[in-house]
Structures are given as structure tokens and as C-alpha cells.
A and B are shown apart, each in its own frame.
Chain A
Amino acid sequence: MKDTTEREPIIEFRDFGFQYNAQAEPTLKGIDLQIRKGEKVLIAGPSGCGKSTLAHCINGLIPFAYRGTITGSVTVRGRETQDLSIFALSRTVGTVLQDSDGQFIGLTVAEDIAFALENDCVQEPELHDRVLRAAGAVGIDSHLLNAPDQLSGGQKQRVAMAGVMVDDVEVFLFDEPLANLDPATGKSAMELIDEIHDRTGAAVIIIEHRLEDVLHRSMDRIVLMNEGRIIADTDPDTLLSGELLRSHGIREPLYVTALKYAGVRVTPELKPSSIRSLRLGPEEKQKVLDWYRRTPPSPAPPPRPVLLKAEDVTFSYDGRRETLSHISLEIFRGESLAIVGTNGAGKSTFSKVVCGFEKPQSGTLCFTGLDWPSLSLKERADHVGYVMQNPNQMISKPMIFDEVAMGLRNRNVPEEEIRPRVEQALKTCGLWPFRNWPVSALSFGQKKRVTIASILVLEPEIIILDEPTAGQDYRHYTEIMEFLRELNARGVTVVMITHDMHLMLEYADRSVVFSQGRVIADDSSAAILTDPDLVRRASLKETSLYGLALLCGIDEPKEFVRRFIDFEREAYRS
């Protein structure tokens, strides 16, 4: 690691505070932070800790787009940001936002990359030259004329990076760069960020709560935030050796947790910041091995009856390319199933076909005890409920009660029956205290629960959730997932469409992997995530527990992963 402490600071916060006009409390308090030239800094913290606000203060959205009161000082290249403008700041700080689709402004890749240059009145031929160079630097130069809908999530992110690289900025600011990417794409995104850093020598600031994924490449420092303050500002090895992460709702890497379970004292000397840098002596390895041996093997899952069966289902949106091709798949009563795969692999389309939103060109769907093909969309929804990713896409009533009651009212259920059923659903979803609240007063996670309640009230046997935890930090993730587990324990079959590996590992009995419209694997999540070949084909990432098992000479990595998950579940419960 290069020593960067001697370099001059490019961004400097001194006793800085910020309070949004609409808020009663300051969001940032007493911030002292320096970012030096060429440094790579991760800013981590739970949702609402102020890390996004801190990013806004760096790129000028605060105070120029979001109004509020600033105390103390923040300077970029020695000048107070308040005295500059958002445009002047954008010449120094290039921001890549979280929503790589929303920030794609141009009609094509080339136009989007050119956007900042166009606004700067750069003339031809320099304009084309610089666009081509930036596109080449992120490896998107063969897609210059493509429209956003012809690109994958990872490619859109590359376009966004090129769009700020054209300006030769001195700081790259990434706001949750991994949020919408599948594990393999996230991994290559981190590699690309590292490459850009090496090539341009610019400072890199990454705002993320997925620590393990960011640390796929080395970082100079991690700044940990909570409740508007900086809790820690140190190197990754030191931070991972302490207990600060866990106590502040950030998930530490799984292998670090496993080491701690095994009684290994994690110190900076072990280089725990990445599974590849991790150095374990024979004593530590033995401890892990002992832990593995004394942890009981996980029980085999109970046999379950088939609830829904898809046979040889083929579907195409345009009649040419098959989005689903000969899918055969069984969903068992009472299980919790993860459907994983890259964007465009067909996992969302499959659930739409199951719900009857789309009609398959060939193949059959059977739902035990029902004449499934003859049922209408609305009738199917009485048996299979579908919860969309973004709760704002579902909520249409101002009051929580009415929102949850909507499905029943549309089915002409008598009002005296509706009330108890809605109340029951609200209780199940932990929304009882809010039953008389307007929806707009709820947080994102609570809105998600409202949408789940509005589906549950119809008492479906299966509930399908599209990315149930997208954009959630570890605490909210755990909240939502533990809630789904409870539902599952009550007998509801839960199907989750996801590319979150933790989710599939910890909360799914079984995972089905989609790739290019086909099912390429159907097994326990632990088995899938410890199969390097499958992991590669499915654009997943091996779990770091697999790496730890290999490092410690455990010959059954799959079983090691299983035992870890069971152990952790017990630890969480107690």
C-alpha cells in the first residue's frame, strides 16, 4: 500500500455540520475529515447515518440543490464549496450516482459520455476524440451507438464512469456503486474503479455499506459513520479487527465472522481486509478446523409436496429471442426459494408468466388442485401474490388501511369481513401501530411492508418478491428477511428473485439459477456458491467462506458453509 499521508489534502472538512431545511435535527455533526490526492477511501455506515449527505457536500448538491444550514467549513482544493458553484465543483469532483439507469441522460452511449463536454462547449473534433478516449478507458467503445435499453446494468455504470472521466477530474465519488449489480458485475466494477484509480491518479471515494464486496480491491482507509458523526477513520485491517462494524449495523465479511466464531483473535497482522490477503498461522487454521468439527451438521430439509410445476415453458417478448427457453421447475409447498441470475436471465419474466402477466408460447403450468391455465390474472393472484421491487410502484392509496384493503374491495368482499382481514395482515407485517397513518409518513422499508401486507391480505399460497432487499442496509435487510422467514414458518411459500448472495445463502432453502433463459442449476444455495464453474456461468461470486474453507484445508467446503449459516442463524436468534 502506498503511503498517502504526506500528500496534500484535496477535500477537507473542519468541524462541519449540516442541517436540511426540512429537518429538525442536523444530519451531519462535527465532521473532521481529509481526503488527500490519489487516496482510496470507503465511507461506510448504516442507512440514515449521513453518508449520502456527506457525498452531497463534496459534489456541491449541498448547498446548491438541497438547501440547509452549514456550520464549520468544507473546502475543495482549498476553497470553501459555498463560494464555488456546482459547475465549478464538477470540474474537480466527478460523481457516479447509484441509479445507473436514471443518470443515463443521452439517447445513446456516446451522447451520454459527451454530455459534460457539450455543456462545456467543447468543439469538434476534440469532442469526438475525448468521448472515444473515455469510452475506451472503461471498455465501452464498441457500444457507442447503443441506447440504454440495449445495455446491461454493468455497462450502464461504465458509461456513467466514462461520463465523468471525460473531464479529467481529481476526485471520483461513487454513491453505492454496487447497489444494482449482480455479484460478478460488482466484482468487475471494483476492478475497473481500481484500474481507473491507477491510471488517472485521482482520489476515489466510495460510499457503500457492502464492505466485503468493496474490499475485493484494496482501500487506503475506511471512514465509518453513524448518526451523522464519524465513528472511525482508519485502515481496513484495523477496522476489521475490532467490533465497531457489528455494533454499528455494518456487516463484516463472512470469513471474519467465521474466524471470530472459531475463537480466532482477529488482529491487523492477519491482514483480514480481504480473503486473498488473509494470513493464518497453523494455530488459527486448527481453531477453524476444530470449530467446523464440533459444529453439528445441518439437518436435511424435510420432504415437501409440489405446489406449482412448470413444464417446458418457453416465452418470447418479440417472437425472435427466447427470454425463457424450455423451463421446467417445481416449487414446493412451504419452502423458501431463491431465483438468481444476471439481469435479463429471465428470472423476472418467469415470475410474470407464473402470475399470468405474460402468456407462454409453449409449455404448461400446473398449480396443485387448480385448473391454472383457465384462471384469469385476478384469480391467479388469489393463489400467487407478486410484490414489486419498488414499493412506490404499487402504492396508490393515501391511507395504509385503504391500500391494504384494496385487493379485497376490488373482489367485492363485504366490508365487515375486510376489516378483520386487513387488521390481521397489518399485525402480521408489524404495521399495526401505523394503521391510521398516511402512507407518505412511512420509511422505505415500512412501505415495502405495506405492499407485502396488501398482497398477504388476499391469502395467497405463494408470495413472489422481486429483489425484496434492494437498496437496504444490513439492519433493514435483516428486518425484512426475518419477517419473511416468519411468514414462511407460518406456511406461506416464499419465492425471492434476487442477486444478493447473502440472501440466497441465509434465507433460501433452495436456489434456482437462471442464465440466458434457461435453468442451469437447482440445488441448495451452499452447494451453488461453492461450485466455481457454476458461479462463473451464473455471474455470481464464490462466497468468501469457500475461500476460508480451502485456506484451512477443510475438504468439504459446502458443508462448512452450511454449518456456518446454521450457526449464525442460531446466534442471531439468541
Chain B
Amino acid sequence: MRNIFNYVDRPSPIHRLTGATKLVCLLLWSFAAMSTYDTRLLVFLTLLSLVLFALSRIRFSDVSFLVSFMAAFMVLNNVLIFVFSPQHGVTLYGSSHPLLSLGGQYVITREQLFYHLNLVLKYFATIPIVLLFVCTTNPSEFAASLNRIGIKYTVAYSVALALRYIPDIQKNYHEISQAQQARGIEMSRKQNLVKRLKSAAAILIPLILSSMDRIEVVSNAMELRGFGKGKKRTWYMGRPFRPADILAMVFCALLLAAAIALNVLNGGRFWNPFR
């Protein structure tokens, strides 16, 4: 992977929103999805996120790697919860409707299944939105977005710099590791820990030393072109907000408000259909 962004350049209404809008919406949306276990809202968010995903013209093949990674994580999360607290749903919802006994405390209850359903819905409500952000935000716009939501531009720019130099460092790492393997460094997992640490040092030390040279060049180049001169700077890739941006942010703020309101109405984060 070239960097954390997996930008897919295929114009869509989602692409047209500014990076800052998408970042704000992502944050509001995830807070909304995270704060509540209200199934009705989670179903709504899930359906809406799928619609948005379709609207963005991102294909499943563009994101299959990320999706399978997250799906595996989701399964693991659910399995572990069941293994460590199979009666969590019963505690939460205050009733027990057993369906099947697996022996000992491992009794499958409707409450537990309902809790897992909510958990899965949370994943489904957020993952498409995260993918949307990752695939429709031009990495060049990202630093400008961070700056716009109030993060200092020197800090925001360091993110852009990381995006710029990570591929270079990966390439450098690859080259160094090849040359060191030729000198007999073993990279296989068969080695014991001490040997593996030694091998890692044989690659990391040259990597760090050659990166240090690089840092000096970069910081000189930046200073020579006025970086850090003023309190503010403009962004070539920054775009002004348009009505659609405002609309999107207001809508996501309403979602968060709805989540909070439901939590108040439900008297907690859980909506209980068993009562």
C-alpha cells in the first residue's frame, strides 16, 4: 500500500465535498454510531451509509482488502465477547430467554444475540463511512482539512510530510534489507529472538542514519521557502465550503443529536425491546 489513503479518483458528489467536511462528518457520524446501542438508529445509519457508499461510485473491489481486514476484526471481536462474557446481554437487558445450551455458562440467549446484532450493526454503520473518507479524500487535501478544523498548520503539515515520505522510506527499507540479506542477515521467523533483533538492527540503523540526512535536507528546504514564517498559511489544495458542505455537516450534527436524544429517552445507551 502506498500510504494510508487509498484515494480513488472517480468524480462523485462525495468527492466534491471538501476534505474538511468529510473529516467533520466522519467524526460526528462515528460519535453517533459509537454512543448508542439503539437498534433503530443503527439500522438507519447502516442503510444510509450503504446508500452513500453507492453514491460515491467506489467499487467493492477498490476496498476489498480493507473490508476483509475489518470483517475479520469484527468476527474476532464478537467471538471474544461471547467467550469471555456469554451472559452480557442478560445483564444488560435484565431478562433471559434461553435458546440453546452449550454447557456451563455458555447458554445462547435472545438477549445475547440481540447485543451481538447491535455490535455488528455498529460496524456496518461506521465501516462504509470510514472507507468513504479514505477513498474520496485526496491526500493532498488532508493537511488543509486538519488545519481548517483548528489544528495548527505546522502540526497538520507534518501529516502531509509523513504521507509524502512514507513511500520513500518503505523503498529505502526494502533496498537496505536486500543488501543486508546478501551480507547474510537472516530475515526468516525460524531464528531465535536475539538473532532477529540483531537482524532488525542491521536494517534499522542504516535506515535511521540515511533518513537523518534526509530530514536535514527537508527542513532546510522548508525554511528556505518560508515555512513557519507566519501564524497562518493558505493551501493550494484547500477548497472553500459550498452549500452542500454545510448541509452535510449540519445533517451529521443532527445524527449525533438524535443519538444523544435517544440515549436520554431510552434511559441509557441501550434500547430494550425485551421489556
Contacts from A to B (Cβ < 8 Å): 59-61, 64-65, 86-87, 90, 95, 97, 99, 101-108, 110-111, 114-124, 127-128, 131, 148-149, 163-164, 352, 355-357, 377-378, 380-381, 385-386, 388, 390, 392-396, 406-407, 409-411, 454-455, 458
Contact = CB atoms under 8 A, between A and B. Distances in A.
Contact of B226 (A108, A116, A352, A406): A116
B235 A118 contact: yes
B140 A119 contact: no
B12 interface: no
Contact of A90 (B139, B203, B224): B224
A115 B227 contact: yes
A81 to B, nearest CB: 13
A554 B138 CA distance: 60
B223 A99 contact: no
Report the 7 A-B pairs with minimum CB-CB distance, sorted nearest first: A410-B184, A102-B217, A103-B221, A114-B236, A119-B226, A381-B182, A116-B225
B218 interface: yes
Given A107-B139, A393-B206, A396-B203, A122 B234 contact: yes
B230 A378 contact: no
Contacts, number: 154
B164 interface: yes
Contacts of B226: 87, 90, 116, 119-120
Nearest to A388: B179
Given A99-B217, A377-B182, A396 B206 contact: yes
Given A107-B163, A148-B164, A393-B175, 10 more contacts: A60-B224, A61-B220, A65-B219, A65-B220, A86-B223, A128-B236, A381-B184, A392-B213, A406-B202, A411-B184
B164 A65 contact: no
A395 B209 contact: yes
Interface string B173-213: 00110111111111000000000000001110110011001
A352 B234 contact: no
A164 B220 contact: no
A11 B208 CA distance: 38
Nearest to A131: B236
A378 B182 contact: yes
B40 interface: no
Contact of B237 (A105, A111, A388, A396): A111
Nearest to A122: B234
Contacts of B152: none
A61 to B, nearest CB: 6
A105 B172 contact: no
Contacts of A377: 178, 181-182
A119 B164 contact: no
A380 B230 CA distance: 55
B167 interface: yes
B160 interface: yes
Nearest to B226: A119
A388 B220 CA distance: 26
B141 to A, nearest CB: 10
18 contacts: A60-B224, A64-B223, A86-B223, A102-B218, A107-B160, A111-B140, A117-B234, A118-B235, A119-B225, A119-B229, A119-B233, A121-B233, A352-B178, A356-B182, A381-B184, A393-B172, A394-B179, A396-B206
Contacts of B236: 106, 110-111, 114, 117-118, 127-128, 131
Given A65-B223, A102-B214, A395-B209, A381 B164 contact: no
B230 A121 contact: yes
Given A118-B233, A119-B233, A131-B236, A90 B210 contact: no
Contacts of A357: 178-179, 182
Interface in B139-166: 139-140, 160-161, 163-164
Interface residues of B, number: 49
A199 B168 CA distance: 35
Given A378-B181, A392-B213, A61 B224 contact: yes
A163 B221 CA distance: 10
Interface string B25-36: 000000000000
A55 to B, nearest CB: 11
Contacts of B175: 388, 393
Given A111-B237, A393-B210, A396-B203, A105 B182 contact: no
Nearest to B227: A119
Contacts of A61: 220, 223-224
Nearest to B187: A377
A380 B182 CA distance: 8
Contacts of B10: none
Nearest to A358: B178
Given A99-B217, A119-B229, A454 B183 contact: yes
Contacts of A127: 234, 236
A394 B206 contact: yes
A238 B151 CA distance: 58
B184 A378 contact: yes
B75 to A, nearest CB: 32
A409 B183 CA distance: 10
A148 B165 CA distance: 10
Interface string B216-259: 01111111111111101111110000000000000000000000
Contacts of A163: 225
Contact of A123 (B205, B209, B234): B234
A64 B222 CA distance: 13
A409 B205 CA distance: 18
B200 to A, nearest CB: 10
A528 B240 CA distance: 56
